[in-house]
Amino acid sequence: MSPYFRLIFLAFLMFYLIPTKIFAQKTEKDGLPYLYGKKVIMVYGGWDGHHPKMFTDRVNAWLKTKGAEVTVSNSLDIYTNEKTMSETDLIIQYWTMGEITKEQEQGLLKAVKNGTGIAGCHGGLGDSFRKNTEYQYMIGGQWVAHPGGKINYKIDISNIDDPITKGLVDFDIKDTEQYYMHIDPNSKVLATTTFGNKHNGWIEGAVMPVSWKKHYAKGRVFYLSIGHDPKDFDTPSAWKLLTRGIRWASGSKYQPKEKTHTPIYSSQTRVGKN
């Protein structure tokens, strides 16, 4: 390499790659990671009733204002590209129902296990591949019902100290689905909702997580059950929950692993490596 091109190369490292790496490792004043320079894959598809492309376009526009490097795909085949997946910092998926092949699922699971974060909402992450229990194990929940269909209900912020929810207060959301889910009771719950007796009286008083965070091996996982329609995120607090959760999930490869394993059941059993 000639001295001239060597200087150009060093300048490129100094003014682009090195600052990008520094930003990726830092957090903003609110304690959540920067998105600047991070590689994000957005994958959308499945049932059109959830308007996956509209959701993707909205979040993509926001990601670009934060300086993220975004790749958008309407095919699950991107999960089989090992090089792309290994270089990705964050996956945002909105794919309701549908099926995923063994190869596609293995590529996704491997990436998250190795530290790629994953984030999403509603059926796009919590009702994606009903036959794939390992996928559900990773996400930490699976939709089973939305009594009453599109209704008005309240969101209770249950963890006021987490950076994702700090400063947020309980809020109402209108004309959308209240998800009843089968969930992992060990995830760190950020917000909940309580069911009334109007539609299914036998679940009156049932408290259900609306948002949680967890890990799947090294990868951060963030989920929010709001998002039946992109207009749900016209509610400012819902949008803040989503975007803050996305930022948190992007930090798997750069931030220390935090404790998100928070069992709700007590036990006297001593556990260790078997």
| Closest among 113, 160, 162 to 138, alpha carbons compared | 113
Among the ranges given (34-38, 81-85, 145-149, 152-156), the one the predictor scored with the smallest mean pLDDT: 145-149
Neighbours of 128 (CB within 10 A): 27
The answer to whether position 262 is within a domain reads no
The answer to whether position 132 is within a domain reads yes
Q: Which residue has the higher pLDDT, 23 or 30?
A: 30
pLDDT given for residue 29 in this prediction: 84
Rounded Cα distance between 71 and 254, Å, is 20
Q: What pTM, to 2 d.p., does this model score? A: 0.90
The answer to whether position 104 is within a domain reads yes
Q: 196-213 burial, b if ≥16 CB within 10 A, otherwise e?
A: beeeeeeeeeeebbbbbb
Are 141 and 212 in contact, with CB atoms under 8 Å apart? Answer: yes
The answer to whether position 87 is within a domain reads yes
**Domain CATH code at residue 75:** 3.40.50.2300
pLDDT given for residue 205 in this prediction: 94
Read off φ and ψ for residue 162, nearest 5 degrees. -70, 145
Mean pLDDT of 18-33: 70
DSSP 257: P
The answer to whether position 105 is within a domain reads yes
Q: How many domains does the chain have?
A: 1
Q: Which domain holds residue 98?
A: 23-143+213-249
| pLDDT tens track for 31-63 | 899 999 999 999 999 999 899 999 999 999 999
